[in-house]
Homo-oligomer: A and B are copies of this chain.
């Protein structure tokens, strides 16, 4: 009795104290099973079993299976580092660097499917959209000396990001004439002034 109790707690159903550790264990299990069995073959149940957690915990941390897949891929991808790099440099060229870095990730065959999967999950799952919001809010805060998301000073950054997202979806998902046929550089040139306008904020 005492022995089983000593073993059970770490694997108990529900939230554990080591939140980020559990999250990492789920991601490690997901990467292993997606690699072994492919997207369709790896079930959330099997991933939960491999990570020794309740499947409900996967839903809690990641939303749906597509979002788990996208997160597992995104965290080993160039997405975070490249966006992070874009924030470094002269502030008056931040818009151009951000537009270039973000839209280039959509051009890149390695990262486009991940961004697409993240966008699809956020559009179709409430859990996934909540997690996307939390990630964007926290990550952007981690990037460097940026205004905290939620404070008025960060509104321009959020508006700029929303605009870039809309442009990327119109180009790559809807393939809208007018945007789809531009080169990457032309597209960056087209959107940079309005991104800069949002970053500068009202009154500029």
Contacts and interface: CB of A to CB of B under 8 A. Distances in A.
A133 B166 CA distance: 14
Contacts of A197: 193-194, 197
A164 B170 CA distance: 11
Nearest to A158: B178
Given A123-B119, A124-B124, A178 B149 contact: yes
Nearest to A152: B178
Interface residues of A, number: 42
A176 B123 contact: no
Contacts of A191: 159
A167 B166 contact: yes
A154 B180 CA distance: 13
A198 B166 CA distance: 14
A194 B198 contact: yes
B158 A163 contact: no
A129 B171 CA distance: 11
A175 interface: yes
Interface in A82-128: 119-120, 122-124
Nearest to A132: B174
Interface of A: 119-120, 122-124, 129, 132-133, 136-137, 149-150, 152, 154-155, 157-159, 161-167, 169-171, 173-179, 190-191, 193-194, 197-198, 202
18 contacts: A122-B174, A123-B124, A129-B174, A129-B175, A133-B176, A149-B176, A158-B170, A159-B191, A162-B169, A162-B176, A162-B179, A163-B167, A164-B166, A165-B169, A166-B166, A166-B167, A194-B194, A197-B197
